[in-house]
Every structure is written in structure tokens, then in C-alpha cells.
Amino acid sequence: MISRNLFFSMIILTASTLALSGCVGAAVGIGAAAVTASSTEKGFSTSVSDGVIEAKLLDKFIQTDSSLVTSIEKSVNNGSVLMTGSVETIEQKILATKLAWEIKGVREVVNEVQVSKETSARDIAKDLAASAQLRAALIGDQNISSLNYSIDVVNGIVYLSGVAADEQEKERVIAHAQELRFAKKVVNYIILETDKRD
């Protein structure tokens, strides 16, 4: 990782080069961005880490399903990824969550993406109830760090994503999901903390 002084030297060098080439506006913009990043509440290193996470997520979207790039808005704050927008299928929404959890440094994924494909109000109500029940079970289990998991329930199918501390925690999360009243099937995308992440 580059030092703060080296980074600012690179910024100043880039700004000087742009200024000499007649791009004064761009030079001022780059300098201002560097100062802003270093003086935000979350600090310089966190700003850079969040930027890296966002860039990696964009790359994963491009490599896996390029329609996600234009369908999903994403922001990263202190390792927490927020996704909004609209996709055509639930598979795309779940894929976006899964891809985000594969990135090193991600601590939470909040997927507020809407699915344009219609589902009955009754099914939606059942799925929301199952999701809330599972979230409560994870929060109530002292052996599980509940913030490390994303839950999506669609037509009775429970999709689990996140990062488990170990195999035992992963199995506990899956077991809680299997105990849900309306769960027809559990699809597991949970990875372990020791697994390689991008």
C-alpha cells in the first residue's frame, strides 16, 4: 500500500502535468478530490478502501452480467455496500449480493434493488415474514455475527450470502434457514473468512 506522502506527491505531479498541458480545471479537480478524501470523517485510508471495493464490484458486474452496471446504483461507506435500482429477475439481485460479498473488505451488504418481475402480494408477504424471522434468529444466536449475512427469500427459496467466521457458524446459519416455516429450499452462497476474496 502506498504511503500518504507518496500518494499526495503523485497527485501533485499529476495536477502539475495536467496544468502544463492546459487542463487546469482537471488539475484543480484532482487536487480538490485528494484533499476532500483526506479530510472526510471516515479518513483517507477508508476513502481509498471504499473506492477500491466499488471499483472491484463494478469490474465483477462487467465480467459476470454487464446489465447490472446500468441497473444497479452502488455506494460503499466504511466497507458497507448499499445497492439500489431495478433488475429484471431475482437471480440478478442475488448475483449482485453474492458478488459484493466476494470482495475483501466488505463488512455488510444492503441490497435494496427492486425486481421488476411481478410476484403475488401473498407470496411477497410470506417471503418478507420468512426473511424477518430468519434475521431475528441470526440476531438472537450469540454464536453468529448476523451483520455478516444477507438474506433473500423468494417464493419460499432462501438465498444466503455472506462471510462466516468458520464452518460451524456457516452450518448454524444454514440450520436456522432450514427451520423456517415457509422455507421450501435453502441456497447457500456463504463463504468462509479464510476463503480467498478479491
Q: Express each pLDDT in 45-56 by its tens digit.
A: 556 688 999 999
Angle at 79 between CA 81 and CA 40, to 5 degrees: 105
At 123 the pLDDT is: 81
Angle at 151 between CA 149 and CA 156, to 5 degrees: 150
Say which residues have a Cβ less than 8 Å from residue 152's Cβ, sequence separation at least 6. 90, 93, 94, 97, 111, 131, 158, 159, 161
Evaluate if residue 92 carries a pLDDT over 70. Answer: yes
At 25 the pLDDT is: 39
pTM: 0.64
At 3 the pLDDT is: 46
